[in-house]
Structure 1
Amino acid sequence: MKTTRVAIIFLSLRLANAFCDNCVDDTVELNIGEIACPVRDVAFVKIAKYRGYTDNGAEYQKTFFASKYLRTDWFGAKVNCKAFNLELATFETLTEAQTFLNMAWNHNFIMSHNLTFFLIDGMTLTPKSTTDWYWTKNGEKISFKIPWQPDEPNFEFEEEHCLSVWIQDVKAIGFNDCKCQKLTWPFICQRIDYYIPIRAN
């Protein structure tokens, strides 16, 4: 009996440690024994944290997460982010987008997915346009020059209307147009940690 109890305690600690590696949220928790850890961490890995200002001067901070095991199409990515009280990643400024790409480039989890697309928010109805892209979160046009991968967007097979981050082997990382349906990929979600609008005078 004592041996069984020790084995159960050891297993529960192993499970807790597995779930609690790099915990990132404290709102939804999974209780294993006396150790609590967010359910969100089972599905996502924290990629980057960014603090900056919008073009109109509002201050904000957000945290980005990549799906660990979930693979879905672009529409499913929006649904899955929302299910964890997150939203599919957007970028307020070119500085934020470039900072994210630099952080992702130096993140072991991201770079272990060579030749992989990570889905983010963003859609177009204009084939091959480099500028006519919109955030579906709020319907606003992307205001900065999108840091595309070379020769992108290419509107391959006339089906690529959605936005992703493309890990091109170990050569480059940048934005890419991709299919909204049919193919499944990992995705990037974001959590808005705070947003401070400009005070009216």
Structure 2
Amino acid sequence: MFKTILIVFVNILLANCEESSNPLTSNANFLEVIAFRKLGSYRGFAADGVEYHKTYYLSRNVWLTWAEALSFCKSYNLEFLTLDAPEEAEAYFNLVDTNAFFKTQSTAWFYVDAFAMTLNSRTDWYWSTTGQKVSFPIPWHPNHPRHQYCLCLNKESLNARFYFYDAGCNGAAGAACQKTTILSANSKK
């Protein structure tokens, strides 16, 4: 029985992975089958006019601290989730709120890239990968923030929508990741 399951698993991997130098980290099919749930994508402009395309992923069946979630994304050649504009944040929340899988889940927690610099200025949130301040109003759950340092995407009941929560950095949550492709520099001026 175990041998049959192992053979099926290997066949799934082979069927879903193209040849590459490292199919475990460079192949999008592997990411979607084993490690991550693909949410969708977004095309937008950064504040400096650079046009980009992002594909969003949420980790499957792993529970990590905030620092481990950052490393987990990097280990698959992805970035920790950053949202560059209010329009992108709205599009992202629409993707997670309308995802068929998450409509069947009563709860889901995912760390994202942002953190608070100090406890007393918890309204000042920064993206760790860029050092930039979060430039739009954070769509907080009504009972948050609560004096924690790390930002988490959360859904707390079956029919609820996703919100941002501040959370302890050493808790256990999944990883919200993205793959960014720069399309053109300074094309929106």
TM above 0.5? yes
Q: 1:162 aligns with which of 140, 150, 153?
A: 150
Counterparts in 2 of 1:175 and 1:11: CA distance versus 1, 3 Å:
closer
Partner of 2:176: 188
Gapped regions of structure 2 (runs ≥ 5)? none
- Once the 2 structures are TM-superposed, how far is the Cα of residue 77 of structure 1 from its aligned partner? 0.2
Paired residue for 1:177, among 152, 155, 166?
166
2:124 partner letter: D
Range with bigger deviation, 82-91 or 36-45: 36-45
2:75 matches 1:87: no
Contact 1:19 1:37 in 2 (8 A): no
Deviation at 1:20, TM superposition (A): 5.6
Give how far 1:154 is off: 1.6
The CA RMSD over aligned residues, in Å, is 3.1
Corresponding pairs, count: 182
1:28-86 CA-partner distances (Å, limit 9, x unpaired): 426xxxxx984433111111211111223221001011111121010000011111111
Q: Normalised by the size of structure 1, how large is the TM-score?
A: 0.77
Aligned partner letter, 1:65:
Y
Amino acid at match of 2:31: R
2:105 & 2:8 partners in 1: Cα distance?
29
Q: Is contact 2:72–2:175 with CA below 8 Å preserved after alignment?
A: no
In our comparison, the structure showing a higher alpha carbon Rg is 1
| Equivalent-residue separation in structure 1 for 2:163 and 2:21 (angstroms) | 32
Give the counterpart letter for 2:161 in structure 1.
A
Does structure 1 conserve the Cα–Cα contact (< 8 Å) formed by 2:56 and 2:176?
yes
Aligned runs of 1:29-178 on 2, under 5 Å? 29=23, 38-41=29-32, 42-127=34-119, 129=121, 131-155=123-147, 160-169=148-157, 170-178=159-167
Whether the 8 Å contact between 2:80 and 2:177 is mirrored in structure 1 is yes
Q: Secondary structure at the match of 1:110?
A: helix
Instruction: Compare 10-19 and 59-68 and name the one that shifted more.
Output: 10-19
Distance 1:145 1:110 in 2: 24
CA distance in 2, matches of 1:132, 1:178: 15
Of the two structures, which has the highest relative contact order with CA contacts closer than 8 Å and spacing of 6 or more? 2
CA distance in 1, matches of 2:126, 2:186: 24
Q: Conserved in 1, the CA contact under 8 Å of 2:111 and 2:176?
A: yes
2-structure distance, mates of 1:92, 1:74: 20
How many percent identity over aligned positions?
A: 29
Aligned CA distance change for structure 1 residues 130 and 147 (closer, same or farther; 3 Å):
farther
Shift of 1:88: 0.8
